[in-house]
A and B are shown apart, each in its own frame.
Chain A
C-alpha cells in the first residue's frame, strides 16, 4: 500500500513534469511569453472582476442564508448595546470593503498592459493623501468613542444589590457557589480544597455557613448579576454567548463581570420555538485536552422562581455536616443554627414546590 502510494506519486510527478515541458515548448513556439500583453495577461485581468462578482454573490448568499445561525439573540442589556455597535462597525467596514475591492479588482481589468500605452507618471498627490488620512481618522474616532463609552459602562463597579454567583474554573468543569440567604460569600483559601470542598471554602468565616454549591447556574431576570470568577489550576475563561459575557478565570487573581439578563429561559424557548433550549457557559481560554467540554447549563428564572430555587438549596454544611469540625469552636453554635435553618427552609420549599406541581398537574 505504502509503496503503491509512492509509485503513484512518482508517476504523477513525471506526467506533470512532461506536461509542463510540453507547455513550455508550445509557449516558446508561439512566443506567447515574450509579449507582455498576451492572452494570459488578458485572462488574468478579466479574472479579477469575475472573482469580485462571484465573491460578492457568495458573500451575500452566506450572509442571508445563515442569518439565523450567527449572533444569537442578545439576552442582556449591555449585549444589545454591543451588538448595535458591532453591526454599525460591520456596516462601515463592509462599505469600505466593497468600495476598495471594486477599485482593486476593476483596475486590473481596465488598466491591463496594452502595447504602446504608457502608464501615468503620478508619484504623489498631497491633497489626496491628506483626505484619506483624515477621513479614516474621523470615522475611527467616532467608532472608538462610542465603543469607549459602552466599555466604561460595562466595566464600572457592579451595583451593591447585584446577585452574586461564584464561578470557579478547573480542569475540566465549572464549579458554582452561591452566597446563600445572607448574600455574602464566605472566604476561600486554595489550601483548604479537598474532594468535597472543591472551591476551598474557609469555614472559619461565618459568612460561609449558608453558602451552597450548585450543579447549574441560576440567575434572576432583570436584576444585576455579578459573576465572581476564579480558577483553581490553569487559566479558563467564562463565556456566556447569549449574554455577551466573557472574562478570564485566573489562578491567584479573582476577576468579575456583571450584567443584567433580560430574557428568561422559558421566554427564550418560546421565542426560538425550541422547547429544549438552554443557555450555556463555555470555556474560551485553552486549558488542556478537555477544554472543549467545559459546558455548564445556565437558567434565567423570573424573580419568584429564583427565590424559590435559592430557598430550596441545601447549604454545603447541611449536606456535609462533617465539615463542622473545621468551624472554630466559638462559631460552632452559629453554624449548627445555620444548618438547622437551612434544612427547614430547603425542605419546606421543596415540599411546597411539589404541592404546586401536583396542583398544576391536577388541573
Chain B
C-alpha cells in the first residue's frame, strides 16, 4: 500500500488539455450517429451497456418465469404459451429439451450478458473517468469497439433462441461431450455453434473493456488522486478488470478446443464414445480437461460479477450512512485477497467429477480461505452502518439488501466448499439457492443500487423514490421467498436441471413449496417492471437533479449536471483527500468533497493531516 502511496498521479495536464479542446468540438458538432450510436464518450457507452443489460435481463427473467411454471405447477396446460414458444409446446406440455435450453440460456444470459456486460460495462465505463478525474477512457475507440463486439455477440445469442433446433441446451457450463456431439441433443447442433461464436465475441468485448479500465485507472488519475484516495468503486472495477483479463482468455481457449472437437475431428475432450448405434473414432481426450479450463474462468467469473457490486455498495452505504466506510484499507486488502484467491479455487466445482480426491482436499482448504476476506467485507459494511445517520434512498436500500444476500448466500458456501458435505449437495437445489443469493441476487442488487444512485449523473434527473421503495421491498422479500425454500429441497437431494421430479420416490415431497417458489418468482419478476417504468419515465419526466443530490464527496458530483464529452468544463479538479470524509468532527457540513484542500478545513483536520496542508498549498502554487 505504502509504495503505491508514494507515486503521485501522473500528470494529466497536458494530456487532458489536448483532449479538452478536441472533445468540446466533438460534442458540439457530432451527428446523431457519432453521438449516440458509435459514440466514443464513456458515458454514452455506459448507457448503451445499461440499456442492453436491461433488455437481456427481461429476456433472462422471462425464461426463468416460464420454466418456473413447469417446476411449480407440473402438468399445467401450457397451450397459452403457444404464441411465443410455438412448436416447443406439445399437447400443452413444455418440451423437455426446450426446458433445458431455457435453463441454459437463462444462466448464460444472466451471468454474462446481464451481470458481466450490464454491470461492469455500465459502471466501470461510467464511473472510472468520472471518479478518478479523467476526460474519458484511455482509448475511446477501443471502448466503442468493446460495446459493438458485445452487440454483435448479443445478436448471435438472441438469434440462437429462434432457430429450429433450439439454442444450446447443455447447461451454461456446456460440458462436453454433450455439447460437442450434435447427435447427443438437438441444442448441441447449430444452437451450440452460435453459443460458441457469441461467447468468443463476448470475450473480445470483455477484454477490450478490461484493458481500457486498467490502463485508465493506472494512467489517467487527476492530480492528487493517489491510489489510496480512490473510491472503493474504482478499486473494485480495477481488480475486476484484472480478473477478466487473466481468466476470459482461458475460456476462449476452452471454447476454441471445443470448436475443433465439434468440427475438425480432434479429440481434446472426447474419448471412447458410443452414441446412436455408432462407436466414434475419438480416443484419448478428457472431458475433465474442459471442466478445468471452464472453471478457471467460471469461478473468477463469480467475482467478476460480484466485486463491482460490492464496490458500488461500499460507496452507496458510506454516502448514505453519512460515515466513512469502515476499514478502507482492509476493504482494499480483501478485494486483493479475493482477486488472488479467486484463481486458485476453481476445482471446488469438481469434487465429484472423478478428479483426484487429493486435489479435492487442496481445493477445499483454498476455498474456505476465501471466506475470510469475504467475512471481513461483511463485518465492515455492518460497522459502517453502526452509529451512522442513515438515509434510505432506494440505492441505500438495495445496498443493504446486497449485504444481506452476500451474507446468507456466502454462509452456505461454507457447507458447499467442504468436499465431504458437497458429495450430497453437489448439483442439487442447495447449490442453486447458494449462488442465486450470493452471486445472482447480490450482484443484481448492486447493479440496481448503482442505477438508482448514479441515475442523476447519467440523465440529469431523479428517479421516483417512492416507486424505488416499492420496487425494493417487493424484490427483497420476493428474492428471499424464491431462494430460501430452495435450500430445503436441496438438502432433500433434489437435483437441478430436472424437468420433473414425479418419477422418483425420493423427490416426491415439496410440491407445495415449489408452487410457492414459482408464485414468488412471478411476483418478483413483475416487480421489476416497476423499475423499468421508473427508469424510462424518469429519463424524460423525472424531477431535475441538483448537482450533488446525495451530498457525496466523489469527483463525479463536481461535473455539470449534464456533463458533455470531456466531463469537466475547464480544468479537471485537483484532489486533496480520500473520498470518505463524512461527518468529520469539527466540519460545518456532514461531508467534505475530495476537491476541498486541507487548508480550507483547518477546524476538522486530524493530526496526520496537518502536514498535508502544506502539500495542498504546494500543489496549488504549482498549478
A residues engaging B (CB < 8 A)? 2, 13, 16-17, 20-21, 23-24, 27-28, 33, 36-37, 40-41, 43-45, 47-48, 51, 55, 58-59, 62-63, 66, 69-72, 79, 81-82, 85-86, 89-90, 92-93, 96-97, 100-101, 103-105, 107-108, 111-114, 117-125, 128-129, 132-133, 136-137, 140-141, 143-144, 147-148, 150-152, 154-155, 171, 190-191, 193, 200, 229, 232-235, 237, 239, 241-242, 244-248, 250-253, 255, 276-278, 280, 282-293, 295
Contacts and interface: CB of A to CB of B under 8 A. Distances in A.
A24 B537 CA distance: 12
Contacts of B407: 96-97, 100-101, 104
Contacts of B580: 123
A248 B354 contact: yes
Nearest to A106: B385
A263 B505 CA distance: 17
A193 B277 CA distance: 8
Nearest to A276: B505
Contact of B286 (A229, A232, A252): A252
20 contacts: A33-B543, A41-B392, A81-B420, A86-B425, A97-B411, A104-B381, A105-B404, A111-B387, A111-B389, A113-B389, A119-B322, A119-B583, A120-B386, A121-B324, A137-B372, A144-B365, A155-B357, A252-B271, A255-B354, A278-B505
Nearest to B379: A132
B211 interface: no
B279 A190 contact: yes
Contacts, number: 362
B424 A241 contact: yes
Contacts of A237: 352, 427
B561 to A, nearest CB: 18
A97 B408 contact: yes
Contact of B177 (A59, A96, A123, A251): A251
A308 B324 CA distance: 75
B459 interface: no
Given A72-B493, A114-B389, A118-B590, A40 B465 contact: yes
A246 B420 CA distance: 11
B415 A86 contact: yes
Contact of A242 (B400, B420, B506, B513): B506
Interface of B: 83, 95-97, 100, 169-171, 175-178, 181, 184-185, 270-275, 279, 283-288, 321-330, 352-354, 357, 360-361, 364-365, 368-369, 371-372, 375-376, 378-383, 385-392, 397, 400, 403-404, 407-408, 411-412, 414-415, 418-421, 423-428, 464-467, 469, 473, 476-477, 480, 484-485, 488-489, 491-493, 495-501, 503-507, 509-510, 513, 533-534, 537, 541, 543, 580, 582-585, 590
A290 B184 CA distance: 11
A251 B537 contact: no
Contact of A104 (B176, B321, B330, B403): B403
Contacts of A148: 361, 364-365, 419-420
B392 A292 contact: no
Nearest to A242: B506
A147 B499 CA distance: 33
Chief secondary structure at chain A's binding surface = helix
Nearest to A155: B357
A154 B506 contact: no
Nearest to B481: A58
B271 A292 contact: no
Given A132-B375, A140-B368, A290-B96, A241 B385 contact: no
A252 B287 contact: yes
A51 B477 CA distance: 8
B385 A107 contact: yes
B371 A136 contact: yes
Contacts of B477: 51
A45 B420 contact: no
Given A44-B469, A253-B271, A120 B423 contact: no
A36 B473 CA distance: 19
Nearest to A233: B275
B604 to A, nearest CB: 9
A144 B366 CA distance: 10
Nearest to A153: B420
A243 to B, nearest CB: 10
Contacts of B509: 66, 69
Contact of B288 (A43, A105, A253, A291): A253
Contacts of B368: 140-141, 143-144
Contacts of A118: 322, 389, 583, 590
Given A136-B371, A143-B418, A123 B328 contact: yes
Given A27-B466, A132-B376, A291-B497, A16 B177 contact: no
Contacts of B385: 103-104, 107-108, 111
B177 to A, nearest CB: 5
B392 A44 contact: yes
B274 A113 contact: no
A81 B421 CA distance: 9
A174 to B, nearest CB: 14
Given A232-B275, A239-B493, A251-B287, 17 more contacts: A20-B533, A20-B537, A44-B392, A48-B400, A97-B407, A118-B322, A119-B389, A148-B419, A190-B274, A233-B273, A235-B178, A241-B506, A245-B423, A252-B273, A286-B497, A288-B100, A291-B100
B415 A112 contact: no
Contacts of B181: 233-234
Contacts of A155: 357, 360
Residue of B169, B321, B506 most packed against chain A (CB within 10 A): B506
